[in-house]
Structure 1
Amino acid sequence: MELSNVFWNASFDELKKGYIQDFDSFTCLLCGEKIEKGIVYPFENKFYEAERFMRVHIECAHVSIFDYLLGMDKKLTGLTEHQKNLLSLFYQGKNDKEIQKELGIGSVSTIRHHRFALKEKERQAKTFLAMMELLKEKDEYAPAFVPVHKTATMIDERYNITQDEQEQLVNKYFSNGVLTKFPQKEKQRLIVLREISNHLKMDYNYDEQELNQILKGFYEDYVLIRRYLVEYGFLDRKSDGSSYWLKK
């Protein structure tokens, strides 16, 4: 299962922890790192059992779950940059006076008002979440949508894709694993690029020549595919183009 699927299917408590537990391992929801159970892991002259080591991994690789979630696209969090800045300062334990001074806005009562507005947003989110959970029990005609990849650079109607639609379009545009035509429509491009990205390795740095060789196996205009993989947030790269990797 794709990491985005695992992430969006995780429970609220699992999202807060940042990992899920399977029969024999713990999996990081943020990058897919797996920690096997029953093994003692050394780190900085200390030893950790598997679940504790997963928390060490999250701290070292992602700073915190809070920071990771806060850094996600606005369309996924519903937060403005101003709200993100406030939440970050609240999370650091700063009081209203310190925050007002640091941001240089309004007065202490202005910060207090922002706190109230965020609590209101929390109440709305809880109510909406409860309604959606209840809706799942009744809406037998709801299609299964493909989860948005967490590193998407722009989230809009292009991501309105059902599982059936993706399967049909993959069959339409690929023949024996080779892309027969690069589609013009944004939504179809997204499906094609996601399918190609699924064949790249996570936690691996490709040099440009190696990546080109792999992409050439999918489509003759590999430069076009490489550019769009970066543009749509599937790949990241060094500024000089010497190294490429799947974004987590």
Structure 2
Amino acid sequence: MNKFEERFPVTDRERSDLIQRFFPKGPDGPLSHIPKKEKRKLVVLRHLADTFEPGKRYTEKEVNEALKARFEDHATLRRNLIDYRFMDREPNGSHYWLRTTDAAERGEPERG
């Protein structure tokens, strides 16, 4: 859980209902739209972040392809994953990875 998620606690039931609402074709299906409300957006971003493998480094192209399969505006999703600290990237954008909870809690980037 990152610092943003701590501000908006979510029960398992809420999470399940929101995943069902924003991924109407199933949890592995496409995202219907990016929620405007922070709590809902965080649930959606956590769900998408969980599809990436911890400890693995991804090229920008790999991240784009994975996100494009879920939503047309993959660039906004990628930017949100970075902004909300679910993922981190090299300064030049060449590689991306999931942030670890420990690094996020310390406010440090996790270098993969």
Q: State yes or no: 1:240 paired with 2:92.
A: yes
Judged with a 3 Å threshold, the aligned counterparts in structure 2 of structure 1 residues 191 and 155 are, in CA distance, closer, same or farther, namely closer
Match of 1:190 in 2: 42
SS state at 1:219 partner: coil
Separation (CA, whole Å) in 2 of partners of 1:154 and 1:164: 19
Aligned counterparts of 1:155 and 1:213: Cα–Cα separation in 2? 26
User: In structure 2, how many angstroms separate the alpha carbons of the residues matched to 1:183 and 1:210?
Assistant: 24
The residue matched to 1:200 in structure 2 has which SS?
coil
Report how far residue 154 of structure 1 moved: 3.7
SS at match of 2:58: coil
Give the unaligned 5+ runs of structure 1. Answer: 1-148
1:245 Cα shift?
0.3
User: Which is higher, the Rg of structure 1 or of structure 2?
Assistant: 1
CA-CA distance at 1:226 after TM superposition: 0.5
Identity %: 35
What is the TM-score normalised by the length of structure 1? 0.38
Q: What is the total number of aligned residue pairs between the two structures?
A: 97
> Which residue of the partner structure matches residue 100 of structure 1?
none
Counterpart CA distance in 2 for 1:160 and 1:226 is 23
Residues 154 and 190 of structure 1: is their aligned pair in 2 closer, same or farther, counting only changes over 3 Å? closer
The equivalent position to 1:218 in structure 2, one of 56, 70, 76, is 70
Q: How does 1:24-103 map to 2 (within 5 A)?
A: none
Partner of 1:160 in structure 2? 9
Shift of 1:155: 5.4
5+ residue gaps, structure 2, are 101-112
User: TM-score, length-normalised on structure 2?
Assistant: 0.81
Residue aligning to 2:80 = 228
| Superposition CA RMSD, Å | 1.3
Shift of 1:218: 0.9
Supply the distance in 1 between the matched residues of 2:81 and 2:36 (Cα, whole angstroms).
15
1:201 & 1:156 partners in 2: Cα distance?
22
Q: Which amino acid aligns with 2:91?
A: S
CA contact (8 A) 2:5 2:42 kept: no
**Cross-structure match for 2:110:** none
TM-aligned CA distance change 1:210 to 1:155, over 3 Å: closer
Choose which of 18, 21, 24 in structure 2 pairs with 1:169.
Answer: 18
1:25 corresponds to which residue?
A: none
**1:10-50 deviations in whole A, cap 9, x for unaligned?**
xxxxxxxxxxxxxxxxxxxxxxxxxxxxxxxxxxxxxxxxx
Question: What secondary structure sits across from 1:236 in the alignment?
Answer: strand
Quote the residue 2:59 is aligned against. 207
Contact 1:203 1:245 in 2 (8 A): yes
Shift of 1:232: 1.1
Higher helix share: 1
In the alignment, is the contact (CA less than 8 A) between 1:206 and 1:243 conserved in 2?
A: yes
- 1:153–1:231 CA contact under 8 A, matched in 2: no
For 2:32, the equivalent position in structure 1 comes to: 180
